[in-house]
Chain A
């Protein structure tokens, strides 16, 4: 189990450095779109909320997990859709 935690720590560290590098040069017109879709990606917590919501049975933990799933899903769907809409709008304006 400790091994699992250590591997997770490795992953976290390396992913962190990857994140520093993925974003290098960003054209100013994309600032808003990139920030919004990053918000959507940050809602990846849904991947732990979802199993938790199905496993914790009843009571407060279950309700909290279901709420977490709902909020994270809304963040993902809403964030990506808004980004896509804004990008489409911009393309149409250019034409």
Chain B
């Protein structure tokens, strides 16, 4: 009697402790993924995800104390060694080698669990006696196997398929993660583990969403990126001409700007169209307050009429001392940390110097490629008035910040302000 009592007490405690640990673990997963969407917080996000797994493991230990530890430890140890090898060796780039296959690991594991469940239990719906319980469970296990295999296919495609090593690769990895998440959720469903259902379901849709975001940044559909050969046939967009274009967001632009010593701002026609001069001047002011040297580089042909940029900058009350003509600006660019190009194209096209076949050859050039980092705020990769391709966009130090100049600059301003409360108040 006593023994029975004790067992019930332990069970009652366990009944509370385990769900609470699992719920806490789920919270860490959600917060971790959320932080992973912010450049400044991403590293903390990975830590939270790791803690989520530690907590889930703690829940398992609480729940499964009666298990045969030999087999469990053998599996965990083997996985740990393999994970450490794959995680710590090889190239740092995320898309390199077979690393994208890691996203299929959950799916493959789910397939193995599902097959093992089918094999081990005689009460499985094959007998038909458990139609109510067995039906949904059998279906869930079947779905787990299907989506787990899909995850494996997508993982292989991400590593070796048409999108491998390309800008679409994260989309395929996210799809593999999504399928893995679905497979996990299904085995969790069949074997009655709420945390696996929750976290698996979370990743299933989050992965799909990320895949869609990455694909839409390329102007394509997720499945088209995974299986397709290239862009849509017949679509000869300007994008096809560029091979190494790197895109980035306002947040990273702000991070680089605030750590610079000297920044050269290069306004063009796009700034006039977006009426972004005030937002630009605001950023320049904040950077100056942080001790960053800021100058504006004015090209003689920038805008619609000569002096167009000067008029706009004057309207935004930019100090005249900060405004330089193109030749003086080029001298400043030699030791500038950042060149921020706002809605300009032909005036920063290096073809003016080195490509006699280009329409812009021989024009004056603001040589932003001299700066250590170049950010180009532009609505798209379409050519400018001269219709020339701009090799600047393909350079390794160039980052494209695609979007409306005013909106992008305002977003950068918000980021800068968030990092400098004192300066913003001043």
Q: Hey, which chain B residues are within 8 Å of A1, CB to CB?
A: 133
Contact B173 A36 (CB under 8 A): yes
Tell me the complex Cα distance, A38–B176, Å: 9
Contact B86 A86 (CB under 8 A): no
Query: Smallest distance from the beta carbon of B3 to chain A beta carbons, Å?
Result: 22
Within 8 A of A (CB), among B52-93: 52-53, 56, 59-60, 63-64, 67-69, 71-72, 74-76, 78-80, 82-88, 92-93
Query: Smallest distance from the beta carbon of B187 to chain A beta carbons, Å?
Result: 5
Which of A14, A49, A79, A85 is within 8 Å of B102, CB to CB? A79
Contact A45 B109 (CB under 8 A): yes
Contact B46 A84 (CB under 8 A): yes
Which of B111-119, B232-240, B359-367 contacts the other chain?
Answer: B111-119
Q: Counting CB contacts under 8 A, is B332 at the interface?
A: no
Query: Smallest distance from the beta carbon of A19 to chain B beta carbons, Å?
Result: 3
Contact A94 B170 (CB under 8 A): no
Q: Counting CB contacts under 8 A, is B247 at the interface?
A: yes
Which residue from chain A places its CB closest to the CB of B30 in the assembled complex?
A22
Tell me the complex Cα distance, A19–B79, Å: 27
Query: Smallest distance from the beta carbon of B341 to chain A beta carbons, Å?
Result: 18
Query: Smallest distance from the beta carbon of A31 to chain B beta carbons, Å?
Result: 4
Q: Hey, which chain B residues are within 8 Å of A16, CB to CB?
A: 201-202, 204-205
Q: Hey, which chain B residues are within 8 Å of A24, CB to CB?
A: 37
Contact B202 A33 (CB under 8 A): no
Q: Hey, which chain B residues are within 8 Å of A17, CB to CB?
A: 205
Q: Counting CB contacts under 8 A, is B327 at the interface?
A: no
Query: Smallest distance from the beta carbon of A10 to chain B beta carbons, Å?
Result: 9
Contact A32 B95 (CB under 8 A): yes
Contact B64 A81 (CB under 8 A): no
In this complex, how many residues of chain A approach chain B with their Cβ under 8 Å: the count is 86
Q: Majority SS of interface residues in chain B?
A: helix
Q: Counting CB contacts under 8 A, is B39 at the interface?
A: yes
Contact B37 A49 (CB under 8 A): no
Q: Hey, which chain A residues are within 8 Å of B84, CB to CB?
A: 77-78, 81
Tell me the complex Cα distance, A20–B209, Å: 6
Contact A23 B209 (CB under 8 A): yes
Contact B76 A44 (CB under 8 A): no
Q: Hey, which chain B residues are within 8 Å of A23, CB to CB?
A: 33, 37, 206, 209-210, 213
Tell me the complex Cα distance, A25–B38, Å: 9
Which of A11, A22, A61, A89 is within 8 Å of B198, CB to CB? A11
Within 8 A of A (CB), among B190-213: 191-211, 213
Q: Hey, which chain B residues are within 8 Å of A47, CB to CB?
A: 56, 59-60, 188, 193, 195-196
Contact B43 A91 (CB under 8 A): yes
Tell me the complex Cα distance, A61–B43, Å: 38
Contact A39 B177 (CB under 8 A): yes
Chain B, residues 317-353, CB within 8 Å of chain A (1/0): the string is 0000000000000000000000000000000000000
Q: Hey, which chain A residues are within 8 Å of B377, CB to CB?
A: none
Which of A4, A68, A80, A95 is within 8 Å of B49, CB to CB? A80
Which residue from chain B places its CB closest to the CB of A49 in the assembled complex?
B113
Q: Counting CB contacts under 8 A, is B252 at the interface?
A: yes
Which of B78, B92, B151, B192 is within 8 Å of A85, CB to CB? B92
Which of B115, B207, B256 is within 8 Å of A38, CB to CB? B207
Query: Smallest distance from the beta carbon of A35 to chain B beta carbons, Å?
Result: 4
Contact A86 B116 (CB under 8 A): no
Which of A22, A48, A78 is within 8 Å of B188, CB to CB? A48
Q: Counting CB contacts under 8 A, is B45 at the interface?
A: yes
Q: Hey, which chain B residues are within 8 Å of A27, CB to CB?
A: 37-39, 248-249, 251-252
Contact A41 B49 (CB under 8 A): yes
11 contacts between A and B (CB under 8 A): A22-B33, A23-B206, A28-B246, A37-B46, A38-B173, A38-B206, A42-B178, A55-B64, A66-B75, A73-B80, A87-B43
17 more A-B residue pairs beyond the given contacts A50-B75, A59-B120, with a C-beta to C-beta distance below 8 A = A15-B205, A17-B205, A18-B202, A18-B205, A20-B206, A22-B206, A34-B36, A34-B42, A50-B60, A54-B69, A65-B71, A65-B113, A66-B71, A68-B109, A68-B110, A69-B79, A74-B79
